Amino acid sequence: MKTIRFGNLPLLTRLATWVAFFTSWIVFEETIVDRHGLWRYMARYHVGDPCLWDAGIALVLTVGLVLASRCHLRCCQQVAP
């Protein structure tokens, strides 16, 4: 079986991956940060509203997925027997 690189996947699949990761952040934010009061230790955090933390996570995810799409890592290549 041949290994498929992330960059070779359709654009819709890559966007769905971004949405899944960002949604995971939102769920973490609501269940852990908001309910346990960790927001008190996070500068510029707004409970229940979009804030710089959300924008930062969106930027980190975007950069990470763009690099995963463009990068040719040796560990991702399958060695023929």
24: left (phi over 0), alpha (psi -120 to 50) or beta: alpha
Specify the pLDDT at position 1: 78
pLDDT at 78 (0 to 100): 55
Q: 38-69 pLDDT, tens per residue?
A: 989 988 888 888 889 999 999 999 999 999 88
% of the chain at pLDDT higher than 90: 53
Stretch (H or E) spanning 7: none
Q: Using an 8 Å Cβ cutoff, are 76 and 3 in contact?
A: yes
Q: What pLDDT does 3 receive?
A: 82
> Which residue, 21, 5, 7, 32, is CA-closest to 60?
21
DSSP 8-class letter at 34: I
Region 30-38: what's the mean pLDDT? 92
Which whole number is the average pLDDT over 21-40? 93
